[in-house]
Amino acid sequence: MDETISLVLFSGTDDKLMAAATLAAGGAAMGKPVHILLQYWALDAFRKDRTGVDHGLSPEAGEKGRAAFKAAARAGQASWADTLRAARELGEIDIQACSQSMAVLKLEQSDLDPLVDGVQGIAAFFINAGSGQIVFI
Amino acid sequence: MDETISLVLFSGTDDKLMAAATLAAGGAAMGKPVHILLQYWALDAFRKDRTGVDHGLSPEAGEKGRAAFKAAARAGQASWADTLRAARELGEIDIQACSQSMAVLKLEQSDLDPLVDGVQGIAAFFINAGSGQIVFI
Amino acid sequence: MDETISLVLFSGTDDKLMAAATLAAGGAAMGKPVHILLQYWALDAFRKDRTGVDHGLSPEAGEKGRAAFKAAARAGQASWADTLRAARELGEIDIQACSQSMAVLKLEQSDLDPLVDGVQGIAAFFINAGSGQIVFI
């Protein structure tokens, strides 16, 4: 199962980033090359010294959802950033910042966490994605 | 057209669940095997005795969107849960709860609606998805 | 690289529509036929005389995100609607309104921007998508 999976990460809330990290880690563990493109609020969450802070949850999570999410973290569930770091040991994961979003948010690569491998335009994204799966989160 | 389509349902608002049910029913009617993985707030919406309650809409729906959505329901539009139940008669739909989300929300399968066929890890999800389409909703 | 990419546009906020327009334009520029299906709040944003108004951003954008987005527009970044109009010159983009969403929002095709080519049911959407990529935004 070596077809690539390409994830476009748009949302920067901890619940969506956790869903994304789970898919990335699962795909990498199955031997699929994983390409990640960071846009807008997901890109903002990958700023240096920001991956560990609380980015909130989707509005629909509600109070009960927030409590469940925090209890899981206290019980030892790895964060989305740590899940991605560990997944790098399991397989092939490439994380690129979208050049257009970098311009909108006025960021340089030196502003980003070392998890981010580089900055990429949309053409390079499509070349790497080929005819593989593309998932927008 | 027998390629599979795999839907990762993350959001639990009635508008996104309706969009998901429409894609699932349409895919099944076209002869595509449909795999559904329930995460977080979508999983919460599939709790027993909860599929029929009001789960709200996306924040952007606004008052006008909410009114239009409710008017459509009063005019006889099937709910997302009923659309999924009917789609089962049309084709092959498999609905699995994500094991990680089950742990976060502290749910057992007996807590879930009979629409849910089982509990699945991310590796099984990728095996079933194969090289077919993956859609995150 | 002539495989199709099919985008299901659900969200109607300017940030998600910009992400969608970027993917559509990028795909078209790479020679991929791009099929777009408009649902619910994205469909609402394509109403005639509405593509240029402010549709807000995702709640998570926050004040800083909103300011960055507006600054980029003032600095000359094309809107999502203008990006789609320009992309039509680059390649093959087909934009269809979902018939079910049209009924819920009580819209006729004459209510929509000329960017929208027609109204489509979910079966036609799957036939056009074939085994190509499907992305939900």
pLDDT of residue A84: 98
Q: What are phi and psi of B75, to 5 degrees?
A: -80, 0
List Cα–Cα distances, C26 to A69, C2, C96, in angstroms: 36, 13, 19
Contact C41 B61 (CB under 8 A): yes
- Give the model's confidence band at B129: pLDDT under 50 very low, under 70 low, under 90 confident, else very high: very high
pLDDT of residue B104: 97
Taking residues B116-133, report their average pLDDT.
97
pLDDT of residue A30: 94
Partner residue facing C23 (CB), from A44, A103, A122: A122
List Cα–Cα distances, C32 to A126, B64, C23, C123, C133, in angstroms: 10, 36, 11, 21, 11
Determine the residue among A50, A101, A126, A127 to mutate to test chain C binding: the one whose Cβ has the most chain C Cβ atoms within 10 Å: A126
Answer whether residue C1 shows pLDDT above 60: no
pLDDT of residue C118: 98
- Which residue of chain C is at minimal alpha-carbon distance from B136? C136
The C-alpha of A80 sits at a distance from chain C's nearest C-alpha, in angstroms, of 17
The model's pLDDT over A102-111, given as tens digits with 9 standing for 90+, comes to 999 999 999 9
Taking residues B106-131, report their average pLDDT.
97
Say if strands B5-9 and B34-38 run parallel, antiparallel, or are unpaired: parallel
List Cα–Cα distances, A18 to A43, A78, A87, C50, C88, in angstroms: 14, 9, 13, 35, 36
The model's pLDDT over C108-118, given as tens digits with 9 standing for 90+, comes to 999 999 999 99
Strand partners, C6: C35, C134
Average pLDDT score over chain C: 96
Which residues in chain A have Cβ-Cβ distances shorter than 8 Å to C59? Answer: 59
Determine the residue among C2, C60, C66, C74 to mutate to test chain A binding: the one whose Cβ has the most chain A Cβ atoms within 10 Å: C60
CA distance B58 to C119: 24
In the numeric block, which tokens belong to residue C81?
A: 């609607």
In the numeric block, which tokens belong to residue C113?
A: 């921007």
In the numeric block, which tokens belong to residue B37?
A: 């993985």
Would you list which residues of chain B are within 8 Å, Cβ to Cβ, of chain C? 1, 3, 5, 15-16, 19, 22-23, 25-27, 29-30, 32, 58-61, 65, 68-69, 72, 77, 132-133, 135-137
Partner residue facing C134 (CB), from B1, B58, B133: B133
Contact A58 B11 (CB under 8 A): yes
Answer whether residue C2 shows pLDDT above 80: no
Q: Map residue C44 onto helix, strand or coil.
A: helix
List Cα–Cα distances, A12 to B117, B126, C22, C32, in angstroms: 31, 24, 19, 29
Answer whether residue B130 shows pLDDT above 70: yes
The model's pLDDT over B24-68, given as tens digits with 9 standing for 90+, comes to 999 999 999 999 999 999 999 999 989 999 999 999 999 999 999
Q: Which residues of chain A have pLDDT under 50?
A: none
The model's pLDDT over C62-81, given as tens digits with 9 standing for 90+, comes to 999 999 999 999 999 999 99
CA distance A136 to B137: 9
Number of H helices, E strands in chain B: 6, 5
